[in-house]
Amino acid sequence: AGWLADRTRPGDRMAVLLGSRTEVMVALYAAAAARIAHVSVPDGAGLDDAGHILRNSRARLVVTDSERRSLIDRLRRDCPDLEQVVVLDGAEPDGLGPYAGKEPLALAGSAAAPEDITAVYYTSGTTGPPKGCMVGHIWWRRIADVEQRINPKTAADRTLCCLPFHYNDAPILLTTALNSGGAVGVMRRFS
């Protein structure tokens, strides 16, 4: 979040094109703390869908991996708002490691406001190009509260998530687990 806060302004968009890995979850909450929107790009998106999402969202930053880097390189010239590409290479981190920027920015200490757009999820596009569904900070707080009331969880609970992180179901499971102090086991792919 501190790294993002140094490179973005509140209201900016950060596209994330990754499979279900640790950095997707970290990016979601880091974006909220930095007051920018996390724009999810399905990890199987090709030129048309990924290009549409990057252009439509006006993403200034994209986080991807070495497997999808060539796709972003091919799209970059047609995405005038895209200023920076962060490419993850290698295995997932074992923890977050040392932070090499200015002071880290904690979510609890951020200036995130209830009306901030924290995530943009794109529809399947069955009736035309995919449309961005903007999710506000207050929505996450409400959904975690409703989920906790309907399906109470404690710190002893463990949730298995077989859903991809490019739509909001998996982040709801994660947010609920964090809210209760529990844990989520994330499958790489549905099987």
Per-residue pLDDT reduced to its tens digit, 117-132:
999 999 887 888 889 9
Q: What is the pTM of this model?
A: 0.89
- Taking alpha carbons only, the member of 23, 141, 22, 106 closest to residue 14 is 23
- Taking alpha carbons only, the member of 105, 106, 164, 172 closest to residue 141 is 172
Strands 84-88 and 61-65: parallel
pLDDT given for residue 14 in this prediction? 97
Those residues whose C-beta lies under 8 Å from the C-beta of residue 46, and which sit 6 or more positions away, are 71
pLDDT given for residue 97 in this prediction? 59
pLDDT given for residue 112 in this prediction? 85
Task: Tokens for 164, please give them.
Answer: 């991809």
∠ at Cα 44 (162, 132), nearest 5°? 90
Burial class (CB in 10 A: 0-12, 13-18, 19+), 162: middle
Residues of the chain with pLDDT under 70: 94-107
**Cβ–Cβ under 8 Å, residues 1 and 29:** yes
Residue type, 180: S
